[in-house]
Chains A and B, each alone.
Chain A
Amino acid sequence: MGFRDYYRQFEEMGPEEISAELLALRDERRRRALSRIDPLDLSGTEWHEPPHPDAVNAATFALRRALNTYPDRSAGALRAALAERHGLAQEQVAVGHGAGELLRSVCAALLAGGGDALVAWPGWQPLPGLVEAAGGRAVPFPSAPAELLAHAGPDTRVMLVTSPSDPTGATLSRRAVHDLCARVPDGVTVVVDEALGEFAADGDDAAPLVADVANLVVVRSFSKAHAMAGLRAGAALGPRELVERLAPAGGLSAPAQAAAAWAASQPGAEVAARRRAAASAAHERLAAALAGSPFSAAPGSVPFAWISSSEEDGPGIAARLAAAQVFVAPGRLWGDERHVRAALRGPEAVDRLAGALLGR
């Protein structure tokens, strides 16, 4: 380096040069932002929007009011609201840390002495694992729940049904659940996982049956239609001698109780109904976009679609979507090589999903 060059390297940039550099940097960022395709994760089933502001307010109020004290361990207000909503006695309602935890408790209570659990399949993916963890033997049957009756044996203790089904979205009607409960052998309890129950058509949820059917347990969630997955709140409805064993020892947190109580109210039910309508509209939008193509999705009102193709298998569909930065749950999680499950997260996401499937 020459003598003059040595000292010239200590020259600072002028304001114009700095401005030009910052402008070039901004342009570069814009160019990158425009050329970047953000990944779209459609592998989950939780609702894609935040909870209703009133639910957040209820949780926030509870959080600020008495965080230093223990919550109501009996969750009396929440249980009373749920009991009124479903026409049950309060003693028939237990609340816990999400539907998953309650299903774990149900399995532990019903399968403590071993036995078989017939699982309508495909259903909620962790169900067989919960049965095994409880000491039972999971027997998944890829058939309609009503047909499970034919497979019930002397060791059968539980029949587990997911309705609406995750991943297919198929719903077991209230009448079908009633018939199933009436026809199962003595000593067999029917457990309906209704985490997606708010997305079932009016009159098709099994919760009201609990008042009259002694061998039925229905598990509900506030994570899906009420968009409160982060609060981990759920409810189990069933015979009082069973549900009293399901509640967590320390109870549900005060914010979760408050938000869930709002969700159990009439305004909460109206919000859930609007989300069901939005999910149905998303199904129709997807079906319209895929019309005439090899792809098809079962119609429904759940916030996800069970997609298959006449020309490609499930891994092929998943790979096609992944190439477009759209990620879905592969059907092999349920032992199905023909389908993928994709969440329907609003019109833009549905359009992008359809575009990725069709190669647009």
Chain B
Amino acid sequence: MVGRHTVGVPRNDPTDTGGLFIGRRPGTAPVRYRTPPERGGAGRRFLDALLAAAVLLVEALVVLTAWGPQPVAWMWVGSQLDYATGSVFLGIVAAFFGLIGSLILTLMLATRLDHLWRLLRRAAGHDQREGVLGRIFVVTAIVAAAGFSVWFLLLEGPGSSLAPR
């Protein structure tokens, strides 16, 4: 197997090519498989495309929870501890470390989902070189920030003074 997928790749070292950089730009290398994959038929590729879309949706929802539901949930847990023990410190510590832990677990889960999405996209016939987790984080952050702004500014926060009822 050694060298099976690298034979015929042009040498891109400028010292080998008379000073000309003839190789591809960094970061644009094709996906290198251990063995050439054998894709299924058209039906299976269509099903894989649907599964990839579903996984992408789940991944986006999972990431979205990091921007709102999880912090809210851990603040609620902290408040309950404060109420039960009378210790504000304990409530803050529990909420802080609980949120950190759940965010790490969320990130691990999102990473696995992103990996699964890449495999499904490749199985569906796409040259999927990279995942989409980074972009999901950005998009969900924008969505969460917009939602939070609407809630905070217009519905519950200073909205009452900006727009008196």
- Report A's interface with B, CB cutoff 8 A: 1, 6-13, 17-18, 21-22, 24-25, 28
* Given A9-B37, A10-B122: A25 touches B3 (CB 8 Å cut-off): yes
Q: Confirm or deny: B153 has a beta carbon within 8 angstroms of a beta carbon on chain A.
A: no
* Given A6-B40, A6-B123: A11 touches B34 (CB 8 Å cut-off): yes
Interface residues in B23-61 by Cβ distance below 8 A to A read: 31-35, 37-38, 40
- Report B's interface with A, CB cutoff 8 A: 2-3, 6, 31-35, 37-38, 40, 118-120, 122-123
* Given A10-B33, A10-B119, A11-B33: 20 more A-B contacts, CB < 8 Å: A7-B119, A7-B120, A7-B123, A8-B119, A9-B33, A9-B34, A9-B37, A10-B37, A10-B118, A10-B123, A11-B119, A12-B31, A12-B33, A13-B33, A18-B32, A21-B2, A21-B3, A25-B2, A28-B2, A28-B3
Q: Which 8 A-B pairs have the closest CB atoms?
A: A10-B122, A25-B3, A9-B37, A10-B119, A24-B2, A13-B32, A12-B31, A7-B119
Q: Which residues of B contact A28 (CB under 8 A)?
A: 2-3
Name the residue in A6, A13, A22 with the highest tally of chain B Cβ atoms < 10 Å from its Cβ: A6
Do residues B3 and A13 form an inter-chain contact, with CB atoms below 8 A? Answer: no
- B39: shortest Cβ distance to chain A, in Å? 9
Q: Which residues of A contact B3 (CB under 8 A)?
A: 21, 24-25, 28
- B51: shortest Cβ distance to chain A, in Å? 10
Closest to A10 in B: B122
Do residues A25 and B123 form an inter-chain contact, with CB atoms below 8 A? Answer: no
Do residues A12 and B35 form an inter-chain contact, with CB atoms below 8 A? Answer: no
- B13: shortest Cβ distance to chain A, in Å? 12
Main secondary structure of the interface of A (DSSP, over half): helix
Inter-chain CA distance A13–B38, complex, in Å, is 16
Inter-chain CA distance A21–B33, complex, in Å, is 12
Q: Would you list 24 pairs from A and B whose C-beta atoms are within 8 A, ordered by A residue? A: A6-B40, A6-B123, A7-B123, A9-B33, A9-B35, A9-B37, A10-B33, A10-B118, A10-B122, A10-B123, A11-B34, A11-B119, A12-B31, A12-B32, A13-B33, A17-B34, A18-B32, A21-B6, A22-B6, A24-B2, A25-B2, A25-B3, A28-B2, A28-B3
- B61: shortest Cβ distance to chain A, in Å? 22
Inter-chain CA distance A28–B2, complex, in Å, is 9
Inter-chain CA distance A25–B5, complex, in Å, is 11
Inter-chain CA distance A22–B3, complex, in Å, is 7
Closest to B38 in A: A9
Inter-chain CA distance A13–B40, complex, in Å, is 21
Inter-chain CA distance A21–B38, complex, in Å, is 22
Q: Which residues of B contact A11 (CB under 8 A)?
A: 33-34, 119
Choose one: B6, B35, B119; the contact of A25 (CB below 8 Å).
B6
- B37: shortest Cβ distance to chain A, in Å? 4
Q: Which residues of A contact B32 (CB under 8 A)?
A: 12-13, 18
Q: Which residues of B contact A25 (CB under 8 A)?
A: 2-3, 6
Closest to B116 in A: A7
